[in-house]
Structure 1
Amino acid sequence: MSLRIGRSGLVGRASASFPIPGSPEGTGTDLAWIDDFWSKAGEHIFCREDDGALILPPNRVYKVNATAASLIAYLKRGGKVAKLKLPSAEAQRDTALFFGDLASLYRGDEPVNGTVSAETYSFSFTRLPVLGEIALTYRCNNACRFCYAGCGLTKSLTPFLTRRPARPTADYKHIIDIFADEAQIPFFSFTGGEPTLRSDLEELIAYAQQKKLITNLVTNGTLIDAARAHALKEAGLGSAQVSIEGPSADIHDNLAGRPGAFTETLAGIKALQEAKIPTQTNTTITRANLAVIHQMPAYLASIGIHRFAMNLFIPTILGEEADRLFVSYEEIGPYVDAVAKEAKKLGMTFFWYSPTPFCNYNPIARGHGNKSCAAADGLLSVAPDGSVLPCSSWDEPIGNLFSQSFRDLWFSEAARFYKEKRFAPAPCTSCESFVACQGACPLYWRYTHSEPSGFKKT
Structure 2
Amino acid sequence: MSDSGLLARFAGGVRDDLGRLGARLGALSKPRGVTLRHRLIETSEGRVRLHLRMHTDGTGLLIVNGTDTLHLAPLHAEAAALAFDGVPRDRAMVHLRTVYQGARDFALEAEYERIEAAIATVSRPSDRCVVCEAGIPQPEPLCIRAQAPLKADLALSYACDNDCAHCYNEPRRRGMQSFSTDRWREVLDRLWQIGVPYVIFTGGEPTLREDLPELVAHAESLGMICGLNSNGRRLSDPTLVDALVQAGLDHVQITLASQRPELHDAIVRADAWEETVAGIRTCLDRGLHAITNTTLIEENASEAAEIVDFLHGLGLRTFAMNGMIHSGCGASNPSALEVGRLREVLAQVRDRAEECGMRFIWYTVTRHCELSPLQMGVGLRFCNAGEYSICIEPNGDVLPCQSYYEPAGNILRDRWRRIWEGELLSRIRNRREHPDEGGLPQECHDCPQLRLCGGGCPLERREKNEVMSRCLKSGR
Q: Same fold (TM over 0.5)?
A: yes
Instruction: State the 1:120 CA deviation.
Output: 5.2
- How far, CA to CA, are the matches of 1:68 and 1:309 in structure 2? 35
Unpaired stretches in structure 2, ≥5 consecutive residues: 1-39, 95-104, 432-437, 469-476
Change in Cα spacing, 1:95 to 1:237, as seen in structure 2 (3 Å) is closer
Greater gyration radius? 2
Report the residue type matching 2:54 in the other structure: E
Instruction: State the 1:322 CA deviation.
Output: 4.6
Change in Cα spacing, 1:349 to 1:332, as seen in structure 2 (3 Å) is same
- How far, CA to CA, are the matches of 2:81 and 2:89 in structure 1? 12
Question: Residue 170 of structure 1 aligns with which residue?
Answer: 182
Change in Cα spacing, 1:113 to 1:379, as seen in structure 2 (3 Å) is closer
- How far, CA to CA, are the matches of 1:380 and 1:394 in structure 2? 10
| 2:421 counterpart of 1:383 | no
- How far, CA to CA, are the matches of 2:345 and 2:88 in structure 1? 48
Aligned residue-pair number: 405
| 2:300 counterpart of 1:289 | yes
DSSP 3-state at the match of 2:254: strand
- How far, CA to CA, are the matches of 1:92 and 1:407 in structure 2? 33
| 2:153 counterpart of 1:128 | no
- How far, CA to CA, are the matches of 1:18 and 1:192 in structure 2? 30
| 2:444 counterpart of 1:439 | no
Instruction: State the 1:317 CA deviation.
Output: 4.3
Unpaired stretches in structure 1, ≥5 consecutive residues: 1-16, 23-39, 150-157, 452-458
Residues 291-335 of structure 1: CA distance to partner in whole angstroms, max 9, x if unpaired?
11122222111111111111111232469x954311133432232
Instruction: State the 1:404 CA deviation.
Output: 0.7
- How far, CA to CA, are the matches of 1:104 and 1:81 in structure 2? 21
- How far, CA to CA, are the matches of 1:90 and 1:283 in structure 2? 48
- How far, CA to CA, are the matches of 2:124 and 2:223 in structure 1? 25
Q: Please report the RMSD computed on the Cα atoms of aligned residues, expressed in angstroms.
A: 2.9
Question: Residue 119 of structure 1 aligns with which residue?
Answer: 140
- How far, CA to CA, are the matches of 1:105 and 1:63 in structure 2? 20
Is the 2:220–2:248 Cα contact (8 Å) retained in structure 1? Answer: yes
- How far, CA to CA, are the matches of 1:351 and 1:407 in structure 2? 33
Change in Cα spacing, 1:117 to 1:263, as seen in structure 2 (3 Å) is same
Q: TM-score, normalised by structure 2?
A: 0.77
Larger helix proportion of the pair: 2
Report the residue type matching 1:254 in the other structure: A
| 2:193 counterpart of 1:181 | yes
DSSP 3-state at the match of 1:44: strand
Is the 1:97–1:115 Cα contact (8 Å) retained in structure 2? Answer: no
Is the 1:141–1:194 Cα contact (8 Å) retained in structure 2? Answer: yes
- How far, CA to CA, are the matches of 1:276 and 1:102 in structure 2? 23
Question: Residue 5 of structure 1 aligns with which residue?
Answer: none
1:74-93 equivalent positions in 2, closer than 5 A: 74-79=82-87, 87-88=105-106, 90-91=110-111
Residues 95-134 of structure 1: CA distance to partner in whole angstroms, max 9, x if unpaired?
5764576468964247368544452523x52110011111
Question: Residue 10 of structure 1 aligns with which residue?
Answer: none
Question: Residue 239 of structure 1 aligns with which residue?
Answer: 251
Report the residue type matching 2:247 in the other structure: A
Instruction: State the 1:237 CA deviation.
Output: 1.2
1:315-354 equivalent positions in 2, closer than 5 A: 315-317=326-328, 322-354=332-364
Is the 1:130–1:378 Cα contact (8 Å) retained in structure 2? Answer: yes
* Structure 1 stretch displaced more, 310-319 or 424-433: 310-319
Is the 2:256–2:292 Cα contact (8 Å) retained in structure 1? Answer: yes
- 1:428 pairs with 441, 444, 469, which one? 444
Report the residue type matching 2:258 in the other structure: G
DSSP 3-state at the match of 2:448: coil
- How far, CA to CA, are the matches of 1:341 and 1:219 in structure 2? 27
DSSP 3-state at the match of 2:374: coil
Residues 24-82 of structure 1: CA distance to partner in whole angstroms, max 9, x if unpaired?
xxxxxxxxxxxxxxxx76x5122312153332235233422223322332332235779
- 1:204 pairs with 208, 215, 230, which one? 215
Q: Alignment identity in percent? A: 26
| 2:239 counterpart of 1:227 | yes
Report the residue type matching 2:178 in the other structure: A
DSSP 3-state at the match of 2:234: coil
Larger RCO of the pair (alpha carbons < 8 Å, separation 6+) = 1
Question: Residue 356 of structure 1 aligns with which residue?
Answer: 366
Instruction: State the 1:244 CA deviation.
Output: 0.7
| 2:223 counterpart of 1:218 | no
Q: TM-score, normalised by structure 1?
A: 0.80
DSSP 3-state at the match of 1:351: strand
Instruction: State the 1:355 CA deviation.
Output: 1.0
Residues 356-382 of structure 1: CA distance to partner in whole angstroms, max 9, x if unpaired?
111122223445433211111111200
Report the residue type matching 2:181 in the other structure: T
